[in-house]
Amino acid sequence: MRVRDELGELFADAEFAEAFEARGQPGRSPGQLALVTVLQLAENLTDRAASHRVRYGMDLKYALGLELDDPGFDASVLSGFRTRLVEHGMEEKVLDLLLSTKTDTVNPVLRVP
C-alpha cells in the first residue's frame, strides 16, 4: 500500500471532531474509518466485506496503521460513521480532504488523472 508510505496519515481525527466528540469510551478513529470508506469505494466493497478485510487483511491493517492482532470492527460501524457525517453536514468532508492533498503526490499513488 503505497498510499500510507508516501502520504502518511491522510485523514486526521481532528478533521472530524465536530461529529465525533470525545465523550464516553473511545470509538474507532474517524480518520481510519474515512480511509476505509475511500478504499471501500475504490474496491467496490460492501460494509461487511470492508470490515472483513480490516479484520483479516494485512494490506488494510497496514494502510490503517493497525497491529496484526487488531480485532477490527463490526460492519455497522461504517454505516454509523457515514450517518454521523451526514447528521453534521460533513458528507463531503472525506472527498474534500482527499482532493486537498497535494496533487503531485496523490496522482502517482491514486492514479488521479
> What pLDDT shows up at residue 45?
95
- Selected residue with higher pLDDT from 21 and 92: 92
> What pLDDT shows up at residue 99?
73
* Residue 7: pLDDT over 70: no
pTM value is: 0.73
Which cell numbers hold the place of 10?
491522510
> What pLDDT shows up at residue 112?
47
Q: Is the dihedral of CA 17, 49, 107, 3 positive or negative?
A: positive
Q: Is the dihedral of CA 78, 113, 97, 29 positive or negative?
A: positive
Identity (one letter) of the amino acid at 26? P
- Selected residue with higher pLDDT from 3 and 71: 71
Q: How confident is the model at residue 32 (pLDDT cuts 50, 70, 90)?
A: confident
CA-CA distance, 30 to 13, in Å (whole number)? 5
Report which of 7, 37, 25, 34 is spatially closest to residue 104, judged by C-alpha positions: 7
